[in-house]
Homo-oligomer: A and B are copies of this chain.
């Protein structure tokens, strides 16, 4: 029981995926104190790094100490007052999650939906905003449950024009697909590290526009146990969560340096390394690498006469849904891949449970060798399970062709 020695899995599901080696190494770095100038220096570096990752000038770009849904909840609970109208366009499981989190924060949540496997046209969003008149629009950029990527470039303009705060969860998409926070006029974005950024789950970078921050600072409070006589009076209704109270979190990350939580230093080291890794390689190159790996995986799947799920024109670069063929036991195939080939691919949720596999090519694993091994192994396992493949080796050959390996 005692030795921590997990098998060397190749994680080709929808995330988490294998961490970059330098990210793993960073996490074994010894700590410094939370107000050590070295630590506050690292916090400032992380803010600067994630401004680049998010393509933003937003001063308020910090980490929430928790998994990606902690970032979602922090952004929503801090900007929602009870009975505020929140509009959530849903195109997969994570849209439901945003609606659920907003509802628990006390919002009057209205949703619109498209079938799983599709995305919204901006006009649908504009029409719904005009009808519902929400204070906040909350939607995901990439919903891993369906693999779809919602185009966002026109939606921010609609929100500004109609005076709606625009929040986006980009956990599944960031790093592997463009995300232009300022150009697209996003007011708040939250992500996680465990997809294309190549870290583990457990830290949620967020970026907040001045518009968002102005709104939440109207509910600024300081805890009783640390309040000094010189501190400003509290104002506005208290945010419903202490842990996710963004004005308090900004007081901790900002020049006030007021104690809130104790920053999870190891996960901060990790988040810092994930960002540096991305910026060192170059964000455009990383996206291109994901596009190539995703195209190779898609080509391989199709060449094996398997059918990708949904409207693949709107697929994220980093994950593909594969329709499980009739008469194939999807879970048995996954099990075989995992236990005999050390390769993990994903299952799915809700209406797609048991109907599609999800195969990711993310972060460190957006590589030629991982794509080739996965396709070969999937072919072997399907063949041995009696599934009639189009042609032996067709999948891996199609993927090599994308990588310039010719026929």
Residue from B106, B263, B269, B353 in contact with A4 in the complex, judged by beta carbons closer than 8 Å: B269
- CB neighbors of B among A216-275 (8 A): 223-228, 238-244, 259-267, 269-270, 272-273
Question: Contacts of A99 on B, CB cut-off 8 Å?
Answer: 224
Q: Complex Cα distance A66/B261, Å?
A: 9
Q: Which chain B positions have C-beta within 8 A of A1?
A: 45
On chain B, the residues within 8 Å of A272 by CB distance are: 4
Q: Tell me which of A25-33, A205-213, A313-321, A387-395 binds B.
A: A25-33
| Contact yes or no, A103 B262, CB < 8 A | no
Do residues B29 and A24 form an inter-chain contact, with CB atoms below 8 A?
yes
Contact call A192/B350, Cβ cutoff below 8 A: no
Q: In this assembly, does A81 line the interface, its C-beta being within 8 Å of a C-beta of chain B? A: no
Residues of B within 8 A of A338 (CB): 33, 36
Task: Report A48 CB to chain B, min CB distance, Å.
Answer: 9
How far, in whole Å, are A267 and B16 apart by their CA atoms in the complex?
Answer: 14
How many copies altogether? Answer: 2
Query: Once the chains are docked, how many angstroms separate the CA of A344 from the CA of B267?
Result: 21
How many whole Å from A26's CB to the nearest CB in chain B?
5
Contacts of A18 in B (CB 8 A): 30-31
Residues B27 and A68 in contact, CB atoms below 8 Å apart? no
> B residues within 8 A CB of A288?
none
Do A67 and B69 have beta carbons less than 8 Å apart? Answer: no
**Which residues of chain B come closer than 8 Å to A38, judged between CB atoms?**
6-7, 9
List chain B residues, Cβ under 8 A from A33: 9, 11, 13, 16, 338, 344
The tally of residues in A whose CB lies under 8 Å from a CB in B reads: 91
> Is A200's beta carbon under 8 Å from chain B?
yes
- Give the CA-CA distance A42 to B105 in the complex, in Å: 33
Bound-state Cα–Cα, A223 to B93, Å: 9
Interface 1/0 per residue, A77-115 and B, CB below 8 Å: 100000000000000111111011101111000000000
Cβ-defined partner of A29 (8 Å) among B4, B66, B202, B270: B4
A349 within 8 Å of B by Cβ?
yes
Interface residue? A8 (CB, 8 A): yes
Quick one: closest B residue to A228, CB to CB?
A: B353
Which A residues from 357 to 399 make CB contacts under 8 A with B?
A: none
Given A15-B262, A266-B270, residue A103 in contact with residue B36 (CB < 8 A): no
Q: Does A52 contact B (CB under 8 A)?
A: no
Which residues on B sit within 8 Å (CB–CB) of A13? Answer: 33
Contacts of A350 in B (CB 8 A): 224-228
A242 interface neighbour in B27, B42, B97, B106, Cβ under 8 Å: B97
In Å, the complex CA distance between A241 and B200 comes to 23
A225 is contacted by which of B17, B30, B96 (Cβ under 8 Å)? B96
Indicate if A292 sits at the interface (CB-CB under 8 A): no
Sorted from nearest, which 3 A-B pairs have the closest CB atoms?
A202-B264, A93-B225, A96-B225
**What would 14 A/B residue contacts be, using CB atoms closer than 8 Å?**
A6-B30, A7-B38, A11-B32, A19-B31, A27-B27, A31-B200, A33-B344, A94-B225, A100-B242, A145-B225, A194-B262, A201-B265, A202-B264, A226-B350
A66-B261, A73-B243, A104-B239 provided; 13 other pairs, C-beta below 8 A? A7-B38, A9-B33, A27-B27, A33-B338, A33-B344, A65-B67, A65-B202, A66-B70, A69-B243, A96-B225, A100-B225, A104-B240, A241-B241
